[in-house]
């Protein structure tokens, strides 16, 4: 099976970044390389990052560094015109059952984007009930976090995504049109990959590399990510575009329903 990732808000990202020939950009989340190729097509140079070794195969002829984007300033020793972040998981991570991100297919409880040591299985099978409840509440914004943590402790060990998803579905009533395990899976993924700290450190690293007038463009997929970006732009007095947040058009949503919750922001250094 081959996996692809359809870039989200691609036109909007290009409009916001406006790359030109001779300029240099960092694509902090290379993924399937959709953003990188679009920026390269404008004649600019790109240095790409991704923590997932799987993406190397999409990077022929691309300057790709396999590292968390929080470390980009360790690798890049020149100032850049812009940095773009497209947070979250790619379709090839989500759609590959072996990576354990999805409750819709059965796979090992893994959820690691990179090569970290903490897996979702380690968390659900060994963490205390209170720690589990805190993780599910903080990173999943799940109001039934205590009940879910209790159920997990009572029914563990879990080996697969399906075992965990089925247990939650059996005992917890979800929100309309949302699988009852959605927020728990989001929470585990964010925890396993330390995603919110990565975003904060990634933005700081990006800012330290910007030329005057340089831009940071972000695409976030849930409120926890978006809030960090919004507060970061404010705290550092970055100039934002008139339309602060851009969302996918109806046409894009028709073609790619996964873009549903995407929000693009742009901040420019004075
Ligand atoms: C939504 S995809 C990016 C898709 C890309 N814009 C495209 O057009 O194909 C997100 C990618 O970012 C990577 N990623 C997520 N968090 C990261 C981090 N902290 N450091 C480096 N890469 C990260 C993931 O491994 C994934 O491949």
pLDDT, tens only, 39-68: 999 999 999 999 999 999 999 999 999 999
Report the alpha-carbon distance of residue 249 to residue 59 in Å, rounded: 28
Q: Please work out whether the CB of residue 226 comes within 6 Å of at least one atom of ligand 1.
A: no
In the reported structure, the alpha carbon of residue 3 is separated from the centroid of ligand 1 by a whole-number distance in angstroms of: 14
pLDDT, tens only, 89-111: 999 999 999 999 999 889 999 99
pLDDT, tens only, 213-234: 999 999 999 999 999 999 999 9
Structure tokens at 82: 């812009």
Residue 99 vs residue 1, higher pLDDT: 99
Q: How far is CA 253 from the centre of its chain?
A: 19
In the reported structure, the alpha carbon of residue 50 is separated from the centroid of ligand 1 by a whole-number distance in angstroms of: 6
Q: Please work out whether the CB of residue 88 comes within 6 Å of at least one atom of ligand 1.
A: yes
Whole-model pTM: value is 0.96
Give me the residue spans of the domains in the chain. 10-92+195-268, 115-192
Angle at 148 between CA 142 and CA 152, to 5 degrees: 140
Question: Could you give the maximum distance between any two Cα atoms of the chain, in Å?
Answer: 59
- Residue closest via CA to ligand 1's atom 25 equals 52
Q: Which fold has domain 10-92+195-268?
A: Rossmann fold (3.40.50)
Q: Which of 9, 26, 31 to probe ligand 1 with, by most ligand atoms within 8 A of CB?
A: 31
Looking at the structure, give the CATH architecture of the domain made up of residues 115-192.
Orthogonal Bundle (1.10)
Phi, psi (5° rounding) for residue 25? -130, 155
In the reported structure, the alpha carbon of residue 162 is separated from the centroid of ligand 1 by a whole-number distance in angstroms of: 25
Cβ contact 219:228 at 8 Å: no
Q: What is the pLDDT of residue 2?
A: 57
DSSP per-residue letters across 171-223 = H----TTS-TTHHHHHHHHHHHTTHHHHHHHHHHHHHHHEEEEEEEEEEESSH
- Residue closest via CA to ligand 1's atom 2 equals 90
């Amino acid at each position: 099976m081959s996996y692809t990732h359809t870039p989200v808000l691609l036109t909007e990202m290009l409009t916001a970044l406006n790359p030109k020939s001779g300029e240099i950009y960092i694509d902090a989340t290379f993924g399937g390389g959709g953003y990188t190729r679009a920026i390269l097509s404008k004649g600019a140079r790109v240095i790409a990052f991704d923590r997932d070794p799987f993406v190397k195969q999409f990077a022929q002829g691309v300057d790709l560094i396999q590292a968390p984007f929080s470390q980009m300033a360790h690798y890049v020793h020149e100032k850049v015109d812009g940095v773009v972040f497209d947070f979250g998981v790619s379709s090839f991570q989500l759609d590959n059952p072996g990576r354990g991100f999805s409750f819709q297919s059965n796979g090992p409880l893994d959820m690691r984007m990179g090569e970290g040591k903490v897996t979702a299985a380690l968390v659900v099978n060994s963490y205390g009930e209170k720690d589990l409840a805190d993780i599910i509440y903080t990173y999943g914004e799940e109001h039934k976090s205590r009940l879910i943590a209790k159920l997990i402790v009572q029914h563990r060990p879990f080996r697969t995504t399906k075992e965990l998803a089925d247990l939650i579905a059996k005992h917890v009533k979800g929100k309309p049109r949302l699988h009852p395990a959605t927020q728990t899976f989001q929470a585990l993924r964010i925890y396993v990959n330390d995603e919110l700290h990565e975003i904060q450190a990634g933005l700081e690293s990006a800012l330290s590399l910007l030329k005057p007038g340089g831009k940071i463009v972000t695409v976030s997929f849930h409120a926890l990510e978006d809030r960090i970006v919004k507060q970061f732009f404010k705290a550092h007095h970055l100039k934002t575009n008139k339309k602060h947040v851009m969302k996918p058009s109806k046409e894009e949503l028709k073609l790619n329903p996964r873009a549903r919750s995407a929000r693009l922001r742009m901040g420019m250094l004075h």
